[in-house]
Amino acid sequence: MSQPAKLRLATVWLAGCSGCHMSFLDLDEWLIELAPQIEMVFSPIASDIKTYPEAVDVALVEGGVGTSENLDLIRQVRRRSRLLVSFGDCAVTANVPGLRNPLAGPAAVLDRSYLELADGSARWPHAPGLVPELLERVLPVHELVPVDLFLPGCPPPAERIRAVLEALLRGEQPQMEGAEMIRFG
Amino acid sequence: MPVPTKPESFMALEAVLLRHHRSPDSLIEILHQSQNLYSYLSDPLLRHVATRLKLPLSRVKGTASFYHLFRFQPPARHRCVVCTGTACQIQGASALIEAMEESLGLQMGDRRGDGWVSLSEVRCLGTCSDAPLVLIDGTVGRQQSSDGLRRWLQELEP
Amino acid sequence: MSVRTLRIDGRDVASGEGTTVLEAARDAGVAIPTLCHLEGLSPVAACRLCLVEIEGSNKLQPACITPVSEGMVVHTATPRLREIRRTVIELLFTEGNHVCAVCVANGHCELQDRAVDVGMDHARLPYRFPDRPVDLSHQRFGLDHNRCILCSRCVRVCDEVEGAHVWDMAWRGEHCRIIAGLDQPWGAVDACTDCGKCVMVCPTGALFHKGDSVAEKHEDPSRLAALLQARRARQEAP
Amino acid sequence: MNGLRCCASAGCLARGSGALIGALETAISRAELGDRIQLRPVGCLGPCSQGPLLALDPDGDLYAGVGPQDAETLVAALARRLHQGSDQATPLEWAPARGERLDLRAPFFQRQRRIVLEHCGLIDPTDLEQAIAVGAYGQLERVLQGWSPERVLTELQRSGLRGRGGAGYPTGLKWATVARMPGARKVVVCNADEGDPGAFMDRAVLEGDPHRVLEGMAIAAYAVGADHGFIYIRAEYALAIERLRLAIDQAVRRGRLGPALFGTGFGFSVELRVGAGAYVCGEETALIASIEGKRGTPRPRPPYPAERGVGGKPTLINNVETLANVAPILREGADWFAAIGTAGSAGTKVFSLTGHVRRGGLVEVPMGTSLTTVVLEMGEGAPEGSAVKAVQTGGPSGGCVPADRLDTPLDYESLQALGTIMGSGGMVVLDQSTDMVALAAYFMAFCREESCGKCVPCRAGTVQLHGLLERILAGSASRADLDQLETLGAMVMDTSLCGLGQSAPKPMLSTLRYFRGDYLARLEAP
């Protein structure tokens, strides 16, 4: 792998709790080391850019694919990124967002969440064009687009994220084995 | 026959139990006879069988539920069965299932809530030269067409 | 007891007649992954994780029930076996709803550990997301079918060790489910002695102590072997 | 004296042969010819697709498509001929209104060699005396009165008989293994759990000549040292169950089963066990569990049933057709039997020929007969306007033979080389209209539903394989899905606990081998 001057890095947040991003922030002072080696081109925690850019080197994707917006975005991410990393258990397994999957589709999920469990003013959220439609099921990213690297964990510990990024910065394939690197949960 | 709920009501089963020496080995035979006598395997009936054979409850239910021919709810008044043996399958069983589902408003494997009709499949009746076959209330319909089946279903007593 | 000499992954091993390949391998320091197997319970050879290659046989054999024999040459970790084991684990993960992050057994789960062992960083097979119930009717314990891998350890321990036979396997194929009594709420089954052995031997978070929160289930199934040994010692004492 | 043999097997009964028999009885008694025309309900007469079938003796004619409306004219024609003082000399001037007299020179009949079915269709299966008249239990008597068990074993081993249930294990060897086992109480089991969809050979034998199977069991028991037997039969075969119950009852009362048979010290009793809808119970260890009143889940072998079977006793398990071969082999001699068929596959095999074929039914042919002979000559090929695409043998454990390989001889090894198996004898002809991917998905759905759920690869693997096939059928699968299908299929075969899982991917892999194009055509454009 030829090493570009600066790695064009993106982080993407789909159906997840943002915990993976928080874990990324747990890299603390190492982030200062990281900063000069990358160009953060898209990220909910480090950038205001709303459109996913072209020619991204590495995309860390947190979350499963649960809405029409998630689906559009992940397809765009796949087209425009060289290396797509499923970042955390929600991206790898659908995890907690996937808990809704055994319920029979979006209507059942909305009923359960907004009607049955409501304290007051029970009604479905309805804002066409603003609130994206739920997909039939929340799916792991790789069931919809090809994924190049899997970085499991809920969230992946900061050390695990660092090990992956360091390898990628060196132009190496991260060694994803052993409890330190691939334990779910 | 109304289904009894008290143990003393299962007297008709005593002869069967005796014939099989109340042997756990004969559990499946006894379940067959129980179902014949009481039309389905209710919880009180299973409990009675377990007690008489000195078997754990979960062993009896675990065994009974393994076999597809045992029922745990009353049978529907009309039982519609589609044969899905290989010969039937390649000669139109899928279309017959569709016709059944559509006419009865049921999915394969379902029983209507009011117990009027149930729809199930059987894996080969073994008279494959007459494929495709259906079985409605014990009557075999051979070389069945979808249209013929729909007409037959319309004639079922409500 | 006569001794059998064999080779496991290139190591010479001497084992007593009647020893299984699994026991011989563990004695020799060769780890073969297992899930349904538990020392102290009858073997069922159902999970297929411990399949090994034995020279001269074209069929893979489950190490947990295959007795050692003289001159046997065993391979426990060939690429083919590694691939099979990963697929077995993937099949288990995708057929249930194993959400480690919110599981009582997180960090102390044999399924989770085996996933690491076999190098499963993701499931190549699609997740099935079955709709499965949770039974919280027992006063002290709970059963979450979403996390059950149908290893039948609970069935066996309750029958073979406790003698209560509360549990059994019911239905069949993909619809298999552990049932208590006549498929009743666990709490309604008189036969249960509340001994908790089923919880102790459960390899995942399917059976758990009520009140345990995420990652708080710290059971050690290997305690069963110690318990049985103590019981035998007592029976044999004058 | 004239004889009318009317098929009363399940196939013809469904086509109304019961009403035909009733009508014939009425007509005969009305004509007061009860002493000149003997009417017999019999077992399968062969070409089931043309039933109800009726045979006329002593002419030997076979009529197809006979209905109750034909009874009066038939009896009248027979009466006329009898009145002329002849029961045979002149051909009967009669034909059924909507049926025909079959040409017995047709390959369907000429190519058959009936050993297992020698009395099927000749005798009333509900009448033990008729069976005895054609020799039933005669071989058992000869064996008990003059043969040592060793002689039976030797003869059977020399005959080259192999198991007809599917795997083709040498029967004599299996018997000898059980005979060698220590233990005074052994068990013989007849596996009549004929579960392959599209297969009905065993049903026909049990409905048509049940005593032949009981005789085979008793001889087996004598040879291996057993005193008790079970017949495990699937519940779907109501008529066969009824006939078997009656046959066992009659045999006991007539001293053909029970204690001290034929004045010897050998006794043998038989119990019927009815399954309850579980295909996996055809597997030996699952069958044993089911006989013992348990969930029909297989267990690992060893120990083999020969060592530890029903109730922990050494147990011999043979399929219906295997046992039906025993009496004729001992009667005619091992050499006679070994000379029929091929070197590796001796004797005959009964097939149920169904599907897209003009003349379907039950046929018995020497091993080694080609599929061309059976399907194209005997079955007369696919219906008008179509052509044979493949022939499926071995049911959910087997595979497909493509049309260009129909010259393959029907023997264990040749079929195996093609990626299928002899199986129990189901032979489903598939014409050009057959969607091979859908067929593969059908068999996978079958295995998915019939998996007992004990071992992981079969329980969860068949579900995943079926899902992948459904995805291909829906046109939403990729090349990678196809690769995964093959990889996972191989894994399920290699790792499953019993034969069901070990062979579940076979129909799929077989269609992939010969009809890969059908799969590729359905893949999503990359």
Q: Is the pLDDT of residue B67 over 70?
A: yes
Is the same domain home to B91 and B55? no
DSSP chain A: -PPPSSEEEEEEE-BS-SHHHHHHHTTTTHHHHHGGGEEEEE-TTT----SPPSSEEEEEEESBEEEHHHHHHHHHHHHHEEEEEEESHHHHH-TTGGGGTTSSHHHHHHIIIIIIT-SSS------TTTSPPEEEEEE-GGGTS--SEEE--SSPPHHHHHHHHHHHHTT------SHHHH---
CATH class of A7-101+134-172: alpha beta
pLDDT digit string (tens) for D183-201?
Answer: 889 999 999 999 888 889 9
Beta C141-144 vs C134-135: how paired, if at all? Answer: antiparallel
- Write out the residue range of the structural domain in which residue B95 sits: 78-154
> pLDDT grade, residue B4 (50/70/90)?
low
Contact predicate A67/A15, CB 8 Å: yes
Q: Angle, nearest 10°, between helix axes D201-208 and D238-253? A: 40
Q: Do D451 and C88 touch (CB under 8 A)?
A: no
Q: Comparing C-alpha atoms, which of A72, A41, A71, A47 is closest to residue A59? A: A41
Q: Give me the pLDDT at residue A47, please.
A: 86
Is the same domain home to B139 and B92? yes
Q: Is B139 on the interface with C (CB under 8 A)?
A: no
Residue in chain D nearest B68 by alpha carbon: D277
**Residue B88: CB atoms within 10 Å:** 30
- Which residues have CB under 8 Å from B11's CB, separation 6+? none
**Which of D187, D294, D358 would best serve as a mutation to test chain B binding (most B beta carbons within 10 A)?**
D294
d(CA B118, CA B76): 6
Reading the block at residue A146, the tokens are 């090809």
CATH class of D2-103: alpha beta
Which secondary structure element, helix H or strand E, spans residue C180, and what is its range?
strand C177-180
> pLDDT grade, residue D526 (50/70/90)?
low
Split into its structural domains, chain B has a count of 2
Reading the block at residue A75, the tokens are 């397809």
The CATH number given to C83-226 is: 3.30.70.20
**Residue B54: CB atoms within 10 Å:** 8
Q: For residue D16, which residues of chain B lie inside 8 Å, CB to CB?
A: none
Is the same domain home to B150 and B106? yes
Which secondary structure element, helix H or strand E, spans residue C169, and what is its range?
strand C167-170
Q: What angle do CA A92, A94, A96 make, to 5 degrees?
A: 125
CATH class of D128-338: alpha beta
Q: Across residues D445-474, what is the average pLDDT?
A: 97
CATH 3.10.20.600 positions along chain D are: 348-431
Query: How much is the ipTM here?
Result: 0.95
Examine residue B73 and state whether it is found in any structural domain, yes or no: no
Examine residue B19 and state whether it is found in any structural domain, yes or no: yes
Q: Is the pLDDT of residue D524 over 90?
A: no
Q: What is the pTM of this model?
A: 0.95
d(CA D499, CA D196): 13
**Which of B16, B90, B97 would best serve as a mutation to test chain D binding (most D beta carbons within 10 A)?**
B90
Is the same domain home to B86 and B143? yes
Q: Across residues B135-141, what is the average pLDDT?
A: 92
Which secondary structure element, helix H or strand E, spans residue D449, and what is its range?
helix D436-450
Residue in chain B nearest C176 by alpha carbon: B66
Q: Angle, nearest 10°, between helix axes D506-514 and D479-495? A: 140
Q: Do B46 and C170 touch (CB under 8 A)?
A: no
Q: Give the count of Cβ contacts less than 8 A between chain B and D.
A: 126
d(CA C79, CA D510): 26
How far does the CA of residue B49 sit from the closest CA of chain C (Å)?
A: 12
DSSP D431-446: ETT--HHHHHHHHHHH
Q: Across residues A152-165, what is the average pLDDT?
A: 98
d(CA D431, CA D382): 6
Contact predicate A61/A77, CB 8 Å: yes
Contact predicate A45/A179, CB 8 Å: no
d(CA D60, CA D3): 9
How far does the CA of residue C182 sit from the closest CA of chain B (Å)?
A: 5
Task: Tell me the CATH architecture of domain D436-520.
Answer: Up-down Bundle (1.20)
Q: Comparing C-alpha atoms, which of A131, A98, A109 is closest to residue A17? A: A98
Q: Is B89 on the interface with D (CB under 8 A)?
A: yes
pLDDT digit string (tens) for A20-76?
Answer: 999 999 999 999 999 999 999 999 998 889 999 999 999 999 999 999 999 999 999
Q: Determine the 3-state secondary structure of D137 from DSSP.
A: coil
Contact predicate A142/A85, CB 8 Å: no
Q: Give me the pLDDT at residue A32, please.
A: 96
Domain range summary for chain A, segments of one domain joined by +: 7-101+134-172
Q: What angle do CA D276, D281, D284 make, to 5 degrees?
A: 150
Handedness of CA D142, D147, D149, D152 (dihedral sign): negative
Q: Give me the pLDDT at residue D88, please.
A: 66
d(CA A23, CA C202): 31
Q: For residue C121, which residues of chain A lie inside 8 Å, CB to CB?
A: 92, 150-152, 176, 181-182
How far does the CA of residue A182 sit from the closest CA of chain C (Å)?
A: 5
Domain range summary for chain C, segments of one domain joined by +: 3-77, 83-226
CATH fold label, D348-431? Ubiquitin-like (UB roll) (3.10.20)
Q: Comparing C-alpha atoms, which of D351, D318, D348 is closest to residue D336? A: D348
CATH class of C3-77: alpha beta
Q: Is A103 on the interface with C (CB under 8 A)?
A: yes
**Residue D83: CB atoms within 10 Å:** 8
Q: Across residues D363-373, what is the average pLDDT?
A: 97
Q: Is the pLDDT of residue B6 over 80?
A: no
Mean pLDDT of chain D: 95
Q: Is the pLDDT of residue D459 over 90?
A: yes
**Chain D residues 82-141 within an 8 A CB cutoff of chain B:** none
Q: Is the pLDDT of residue B134 over 70?
A: yes
d(CA D243, CA D238): 9
Q: For residue C192, which residues of chain B lie inside 8 Å, CB to CB?
A: none
Return the half-sphere exposure (C-beta side, CA atoms, 13 A cut-off) of residue D214: 33
Residue in chain D nearest B62 by alpha carbon: D295
Contact predicate B100/B80, CB 8 Å: yes
d(CA D226, CA D184): 8
Q: Is B62 on the interface with D (CB under 8 A)?
A: yes
DSSP-assigned beta bridge partners for residue A38: A7
Q: Across residues D69-84, what is the average pLDDT?
A: 93
Q: Do C165 and B56 touch (CB under 8 A)?
A: yes
DSSP D201-220: HHHHHHHH-HHHHHHHHHHH
d(CA D212, CA A43): 80
Report DSSP state, residue B3.
P
Handedness of CA D147, D149, D150, D154 (dihedral sign): positive
pLDDT digit string (tens) for D27-76?
Answer: 999 999 999 999 999 999 999 999 999 999 999 999 999 999 999 999 99
Q: Is A16 on the interface with C (CB under 8 A)?
A: no
Is the same domain home to B89 and B138? yes
Q: Comparing C-alpha atoms, which of C110, C219, C137, C132 is closest to residue C176? A: C132
Radius of gyration over every alpha carbon of chain A, rounded to an integer in angstroms: 17
Question: pLDDT tens digits, chain C, 238 residues: what are they?
Answer: 699 999 999 999 999 999 999 999 999 999 999 999 999 999 999 999 999 999 999 999 999 999 999 999 999 999 999 999 999 999 999 999 999 999 999 999 999 999 999 999 999 999 999 999 999 999 999 999 999 999 999 999 999 999 999 999 999 999 999 999 999 999 999 999 999 999 999 999 999 999 999 999 999 999 999 999 999 999 988 7
How far does the CA of residue C46 sit from the closest CA of chain D (Å)?
A: 4
pLDDT digit string (tens) for D387-442?
Answer: 999 999 999 999 999 999 999 999 999 999 999 999 899 999 999 999 999 999 99
**Residue B148: which CATH number?**
3.40.30.10
Q: Do C101 and A95 touch (CB under 8 A)?
A: yes
Q: Give me the pLDDT at residue A130, please.
A: 86
**Residue A125: CB atoms within 10 Å:** 9
